[in-house]
Amino acid sequence: MPELRSVPAYERIPPGGLGLFRSRVLVIVLTHKYLTCAHCGARTRFSRAPLVPDVNWRTAPSVFDAALQAAFDAQTPAGTCTFDLRCRGCARPLRLVYEYGERHQGGPPHVNVTRVIECAE
């Protein structure tokens, strides 16, 4: 299994668009964002749409195999939501760790991305 590290979201996801940082937590309001890979520098686009809760799940299904998912689960804080993806440049596994924030005018909740878990090697 790869060695993993957890870094603050602000180190990998630049501000801009309708995402903003409040106390170093990325709040995704309405748009897509880009995650910058620490290994290859590629920017991987992700949308807030799969992060919004559904009646059938609290966290989006993982794209990782069971062993890799277990390694990432060991690094994930309890009670948080996760979204697994792969870098579009080098295909390394990445995990967004997030929580739900306030709702605005009855719409879906804001998505507060707190951490990015990535391969350390």
Q: Output the average pLDDT for the chain.
A: 77
Q: Which of 78, 74, 60, 63 is nearest to 1 (CA)?
A: 74
Cα gap 116→97, rounded to integer Å: 6
- Give the distance from CA 89 to its chain's centroid: 17
| CA separation for the pair 74, 66 (Å, rounded) | 12
Interval 47-68: pLDDT, tens: 766 666 665 455 667 889 999 9
pTM of this structure: 0.78
The predicted structure's pLDDT at residue 76:
92
pLDDT of 106 reads 66
18-31 pLDDT, tens digit each: 444 454 555 554 45
Residue 58 pLDDT: 59
